[in-house]
Every structure is written in structure tokens, then in C-alpha cells.
Amino acid sequence: MTSSANAALSQWALDREIVLSRIIAARRETVFAAWTDPEHLPRWFGPAGFTIESKEIDIRVGGVWRFDMIAPDGRRFINRMTFRRIERPTLIEFDHGTDSDDDPAQFRTTLTFDEQSDGKTVITLRQLHPTKARRDAVIGFGAVEYGYQTLDKLARHVEAMRT
């Protein structure tokens, strides 16, 4: 990550943020495991109709997940996540962008997992983009809709894990 991108991501600003939240009908440990188990994460991650092809997956602080997200039409989107913080079972933070060391569009994601008294989990996904213009651009191409599709896939996967 470039030093200017790193500086931009060190200051949280609401005009560069996207926030998604969903209630998952499963206990927090189960939802957290779906995010941190290398066997599970590639099976549900990504928008509806997309598949994941992992190249490297090391889910720990400092670890990297390099993967291609493959669209229904066969187009490949090359991705890299670098895990910054993992606090079981409440928080995951990572930087996400292309599989490049100097991706100026890289963004930071913070996931929180809040267990409810009824055994359900509220997952909140907060993305911080390097600029307001970049945030607006990703919203424009569907990031919010794709994010909710991804959380829907997570919910279905977790339900299958429980049965």
C-alpha cells in the first residue's frame, strides 16, 4: 500500500465510508468461523452468481487472502485481502484491493459481530475508501447491492453449516 493510501485509511471519515449490516440467524462463533475458516470463506464470499478461486489463504493477523472473484460471464476480478486485526469472535479488520502492492483504490474493512440474546448475530461491515470520489464510484457500480448479496450468501452458508 502506498504511504498516501495508508495515511488516508488511518483517518476514518464518514464521507468515505460504506456501512452494511445484517442479522444472521446463527450464534456469533458460527458466523465468525465462516469468515475465518479457509475451508468456508471461499465457498460463500462474493456477490450472487460469483465464484471464488483462492490462490493463497492465510487468515491471521498479517496473513493474506489472494483470490480471483469470477463473474457469471467468466470475467475475473483479482483481489487481495491483508488481515490487520482479528479479535475472536467480535472483530476482523482487513485491507482489500487488487493483488498489487500499490493499489490506490485499496480500502479498509472492519467487521463486527454482535451476538443477540436470541442467538442471532448482527454483522456490521464498514468500508473506508481512500477518497470520497472512490467511495462514490464503488457505490455507483453496485458495491452496496453486491455487499448485501454477499451477506445473504453468508447467511445461507451459515444456515447450511448448522444443519
Question: Is residue 39's pLDDT more than 70?
Answer: yes
- pLDDT at position 155, please? 98
Mean pLDDT, rounded, of the chain: 94
When pLDDT is cut at 50, 70 and 90, the band that residue 6 belongs to is low
**DSSP string covering 9-67, please?**
HHS--GGGEEEEEEEESS-HHHHHHHHH-TTTHHHH-SSTT-EEEEEEE--STT-EEEE
> Once rounded to an integer, what is the mean pLDDT over residues 93-106?
96
- Chain segment 44-67, per-residue pLDDT in tens: 999 999 999 999 999 999 999 999
86 within 8 A of 59, measured Cβ to Cβ: yes
When pLDDT is cut at 50, 70 and 90, the band that residue 2 belongs to is low
Residues 6+ apart with CB under 8 A from 157: 34, 40, 43, 44
- pLDDT at position 13, please? 83
70 within 8 A of 48, measured Cβ to Cβ: no
When pLDDT is cut at 50, 70 and 90, the band that residue 1 belongs to is low
- pLDDT at position 11, please? 72
Residue 7 grid cell? 495515511
46 within 8 A of 69, measured Cβ to Cβ: yes
Domains of the chain: 3-41+86-162 (3.30.530.20)
- pLDDT at position 10, please? 67
CA 50 – CA 158 distance, rounded (Å): 18
Q: What are phi and psi of 50, to 5 degrees?
A: -90, 150
6-10, 19-23, 28-32, 78-82: lowest mean pLDDT where?
6-10
* Residue 70 C-alpha from the chain's centroid: 16
